Amino acid sequence: MSATATRPPPTRLAPASAVQQAVLTHIREFLAFKIGAEEYGIDILQVQEIRSYEKPTTIVNAPPDLKGMVNLRGVIVPIIDLRLRLGLANVQYDHLTVVIVLNIGLRVVGVVVDAVSDVLTLEPAQLRPVPALDAKLEPDHFLAIGTVGNRMLILLDIEKFLAPALVATPPAHPM
């Protein structure tokens, strides 16, 4: 490189939270799912079950990503469309569309995704810190970027990602 050539600036990394640091240093299992062309992952320990999509009962004046509520064995579960939550358009529900039912704190919530791929065990060597992004999403909504062969997964801290939508949702109680 000549004396006048400049190097591109190094990629900045977002400051890692304690949760993100724990993810990068421990083996973890993630449920991989697709939204559009991208693959995401969430901690398998937060997954209660995976169900086929059925149209929920709608709620008047709800935000667009809150599709409604379903009665799951006596528990009223809010259903949030992750595609809409991520700001993506063209939501089409088909035979691959599923609802991942999650336990988040004392709440049970369902999230609609395009398809579920598999459960992956990721070792620390397969996890990379999330680069600093100028995006609408908060940096602490991401745990890490996971790599498996040619696949790259965006690992979400689903509790923090859904926190704004769950503010007004009461904890789950059976009917």
pTM, entire model? 0.80
Q: Quick one: pLDDT at residue 92?
A: 85
For range 139-144, the mean pLDDT = 83
The answer to the question of residue 154 being in a domain is yes
**What is the per-residue pLDDT across 12-67, written as a single tens digit (0 to 9) for each?**
444 555 555 555 567 789 999 999 889 999 999 999 999 999 999 999 999 989 99
pLDDT at 1: 47
Query: Residue 52's domain is classified under what CATH number?
Result: 2.40.50.180
* Rounded Cα–Cα distance for residues 122 and 43 (Å): 11
Q: Which residue has the tokens 């569309």?
A: 97
What pLDDT does residue 7 have? 44
6 domain residue, yes or no: no
Give residue 9's pLDDT: 44
Asked if residue 173 belongs to a domain, the reply is no
Q: Report which secondary-structure segment, H or E, holds 146.
A: strand 142-148
Show the domain range for 30.
Answer: 18-163
CA distances from 120 to 12, 33, 156 (A): 27, 11, 14
pLDDT (0 to 100) of residue 24:
57
Number of domains in the chain: 1
List CB contacts of 97: < 8 A, sequence separation 6 or more.
52, 53, 112, 113, 114, 115
Q: Does the pLDDT value for residue 143 go beyond 60?
A: yes
> What is the predicted pLDDT for the residue at 99?
97
Which position has the higher pLDDT, 74 or 133? 74
* 94 occurs within a structural domain: yes
Q: Specify if 175 maps to a domain.
A: no
